[in-house]
């Protein structure tokens, strides 16, 4: 084994702990630096992980020991941090969405200049979505003709202590949760050619429900219920709904319907779960044996796959296409017209069934 790949983490908020649980101590990686607007967070992580130093963002992106920057900042900061890192020749793996605007995301890819760019969600690399992909590829439901994806909640202000960014540009239910579902749909059914959307906003303020700011009123600047139709290049049609304005749903997270049957995909915000198939004319659903994906994975598995494959399945082109889908849905809702996408993407390769003992160490 060669020298571990140097990782610098920017942004040490809530999601960073999930990444650290996967990445810290991995034999192929070394977390060599950390940066956060709250310097004390970076210092605490440096004290926790041997060889990690607390730096400013400017110091981290220029540090020669950092080969890949893992960008866990809020969406509005994704592009600024990523472009600064790319200009110093670093690879960048970012949290979703790729950027808050299409122009910013495009600028990130243009700044790559040979470096790798990629990003979340990596839940799609787990056994749930990958086993569903394997089933579709094997013809378990025949030729896919449609899919339905649904995610609803009452809003993140009920649990998140600082939910402001969910209701600003770059936030909303579509840009927050859409990447899990839309990236899964591209894995399952391929890229999208055009979209039609509709959206609404039920109220202009929200009340924080927990934490030190409980009771504080925050403004809502984005639509909080989005629905739409995706026309996949291969001919399938997907109907999607994302909402911060509903209590709950009994619908399967994703269902794919084909000429010979239907398939239920487990929650794409998780890495595992049962894939169920029901053949046309059958009376019951049957569980599909797990046969693809990273087993027992957690957030951060995408970084490992990214480093091992040179962006590979987490390629920035896929993240840009998913962002294009989302922003085009919102534009369609505003303008009342069907929109042709500016981008396409390669359907990522299937992840072979990979036990935890293999991806955790080589």
Structural domains in the chain, sorted by start: 5-119 (3.40.50.720), 123-296+324-340 (3.30.360.10)
Q: From the CB of residue 198, how many other CB atoms can be counted at a distance below 10 Å?
A: 15
Q: Which residues does 85 contact at the CB level (< 8 Å), separation at least 6?
A: 61, 69, 71, 91, 92
The CA–CA distances, whole Å, from 94 to 51, 246, 254 equal 22, 29, 25
Please state, in angstroms and rounded to a whole number, the distance separating the CA atoms of residues 97 and 105: 9
Sequence-ordered alpha helix ranges (H) in the chain = 16-23, 39-48, 57-62, 78-87, 102-110, 127-137, 172-189, 301-309, 316-335, 356-359
Q: Which residues does 3 contact at the CB level (< 8 Å), separation at least 6?
A: none
Q: Which of 107, 70, 110, 69 minimizes the C-alpha distance to 88? A: 69
The pLDDT score that the predictor gives to residue 170 is 74
Contact 90, 67 (CB under 8 A): yes
Please state, in angstroms and rounded to a whole number, the distance separating the CA atoms of residues 178 and 197: 13
Query: Which strands form 68-71's sheet, in the order they lie side by side?
Result: 53-54, 29-35, 5-10, 68-71, 91-94, 117-119
For residue range 36-93, what is the model confidence (pLDDT) as tens digits? 999 999 999 999 999 999 999 999 999 999 999 999 998 889 999 999 999 999 999 9
Q: Which of 175, 163, 274, 271 minimizes the C-alpha distance to 211? A: 163
For residue range 197-237, what is the model confidence (pLDDT) as tens digits? 999 999 999 999 999 999 999 999 999 999 999 999 999 99
Side-chain half-sphere CA neighbours of 118 within 13 A: 24
pTM of the model: 0.95
Bridge partners, residue 206, by sequence: 218
Q: Which residues does 287 contact at the CB level (< 8 Å), separation at least 6?
A: 274, 275, 276
Average pLDDT over residues 144-168: 94
Bridge partners, residue 257, by sequence: 146, 262
């Amino acid at each position: 084994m060669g020298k571990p790949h140097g990782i610098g983490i920017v942004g040490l908020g809530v999601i960073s702990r999930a990444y650290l649980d996967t990445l810290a101590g991995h034999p192929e990686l070394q977390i060599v630096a950390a940066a956060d607007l709250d310097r004390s967070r970076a210092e605490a992580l440096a004290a926790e992980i041997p060889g990690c130093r607390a730096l400013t963002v400017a110091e981290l992106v220029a540090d020669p020991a950092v080969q890949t920057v893992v960008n866990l900042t809020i969406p509005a900061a994704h592009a600024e941090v990523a472009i600064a890192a790319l200009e110093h020749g670093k690879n960048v793996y970012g949290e979703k969405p790729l950027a808050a605007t299409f122009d910013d995301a495009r600028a990130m890819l243009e700044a790559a200049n040979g470096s790798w760019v990629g990003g979340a969600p990596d839940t799609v690399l787990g056994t749930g979505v990958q086993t569903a992909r394997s089933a579709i590829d094997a013809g378990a439901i025949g030729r896919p003709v449609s899919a339905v994806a649904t995610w609803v909640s009452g809003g993140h202000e009920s649990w998140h202590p600082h939910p402001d960014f969910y209701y600003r540009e770059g936030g909303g239910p579509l840009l927050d949760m859409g990447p899990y579902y839309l990236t899964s749909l591209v894995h399952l059914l391929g890229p999208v050619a055009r979209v039609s959307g509709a959206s609404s906003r039920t109220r202009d303020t929200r009340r924080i429900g927990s934490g030190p700011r409980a009771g504080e009123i925050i403004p809502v600047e984005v639509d909080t219920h989005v629905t739409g139709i995706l026309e996949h290049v291969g001919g399938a049609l997907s109907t999607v709904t994302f909402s911060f304005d509903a209590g709950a749903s009994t619908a399967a997270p994703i269902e794919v319907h084909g000429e010979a049957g239907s398939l239920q995909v487990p929650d794409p915000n998780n890495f595992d779960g049962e894939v169920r198939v029901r053949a046309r004319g059958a009376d019951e659903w049957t569980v599909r044996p797990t046969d693809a994906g990273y087993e027992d994975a957690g957030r951060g598995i995408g970084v490992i796959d990214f480093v091992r494959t040179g962006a590979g399945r987490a390629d920035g082109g896929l993240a840009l296409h998913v962002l294009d889908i989302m922003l085009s849905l919102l534009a369609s809702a505003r303008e009342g017209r069907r929109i042709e996408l500016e981008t396409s993407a390669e359907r990522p390769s299937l992840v072979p069934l990979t036990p935890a003992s293999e991806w955790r160490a080589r």
